Structures are given as C-alpha cells and as structure tokens.
Amino acid sequence: MRTTTPLRRALITVTATAAVVLTATGSAVAVPVSGTAAAPHATAHSHSALHPVVELAAERLATADLVAAAKWGTDSPIDDPAREQQVLDNVAAQAQQLGADPDEIRVIFRDQIEANKIVQRGLFQRWTDHPDEAPTTKPDLSVVRQEINRVTGALVEAIATTADDRGAVTCRPELLLAALQVRHEDHLDALHTRALARALRSICGS
C-alpha cells in the first residue's frame, strides 16, 4: 500500500519549487520563493518541534523592517559591528545559563544578524528605486531593539530546548517543512523568504 506522508509531500514541493538554496557545510536549506500551492499542504498538518524556532526566526526577521525604517535617510549604517558583537555576547551568555553550547548559539545568531541585514539592504534598494514607497516616519530604534531583545531571548530558549531535534537526521526535512508552514502563515514575500533561508542555515547540527 502506497502512503504519502506530510514530510514527503513537503520534500517533493521543495524539490520542485525551491528557488532559494543556501548551502552550509555541504548541506542545503531551501525555502520556496514563488508560488503558493505548496504551503496549504504544509499547514494542513501539525507542527514539528522545530516550528517554534522557525517562527521566532521569522518574528525576529520582521523587526528588520522597523530597523531599516529607523535608519533610512540617516547616517546610521546597516552594518553595526559593535551592536552585533553585543548581541552575540549576550546570546552566548544566555546559552551558557541554559546549558546550551555558546559557540553554537553564536554561529546561529550570526546567521540571524546577516539575515536581518539582507532585509535592510533589500528595503533600502526598494526605497531608492521607488521613493514613493519609502517610510515617512521613523520608529524609535531603542524601542525596536527592546522588541528584538525579547524575541532574541525566546529564540535562544527555543534553540536550547530543541537540541536533540536539531541534532537528529530528520532535522533538515523537518526544518524545510516548518519553513514552508511559517512562510505561508506569515505571508512572506520573496525578500523575507530569502532572508529566512539565510537565518536557518545553521539550525541543524547534523
């Protein structure tokens, strides 16, 4: 008797429609960029243990829009090495408190930072090309960073509590499925989908 599991359907969809493939240590994380037919298959089924990790990564990524709006038209650069180092030091310290690997958390959050900058650069380019779409108000960056810190803390906890799942051989297929679900649930556009794929590059440990 032939059976088609949710995981197999997700993998078939990814293979057929994935347009963003980011490679890390010889493995790939792919999230489809175009088309919406795949997502209903993914969301029709229960979430995996990795879904909260992907969901929080996407939530953190959403703050990049606010950061970009706050920086637009100012001399504040997208790259902020001092701030980035502070974030990495903070998540490493939190990881240590939770009994997680600080070095692993640093690597994962370096990906979160780079993903955030993908969105900022993409929005800057969009607003340069289409000035009528540029923000007319500026969020308070200090307030935005409070939200980033909140989501960051929750993401560190989610990563720490899913160590076994992230180290399992099923991690990458489950991560793909979770990414499909979150992409559909959050209605991510191509820019944010590409950035999410970057953010998930180091989630799986195997």
| Separation CA 201–CA 157 (nearest Å) | 18
pTM greater than the 0.75 cutoff: yes
* Residue ranges, the chain, pLDDT below 70: 1-45, 206
Give pLDDT, residue 45.
Answer: 55
Give pLDDT, residue 177.
Answer: 96
Give pLDDT, residue 167.
Answer: 95
**Which class for 114: exposed (0-12), middle (13-18), buried (19 or more C-beta within 10 A)?**
middle
Give pLDDT, residue 32.
Answer: 53
Give pLDDT, residue 205.
Answer: 81
Q: Any idea what DSSP says for residue 168?
A: S
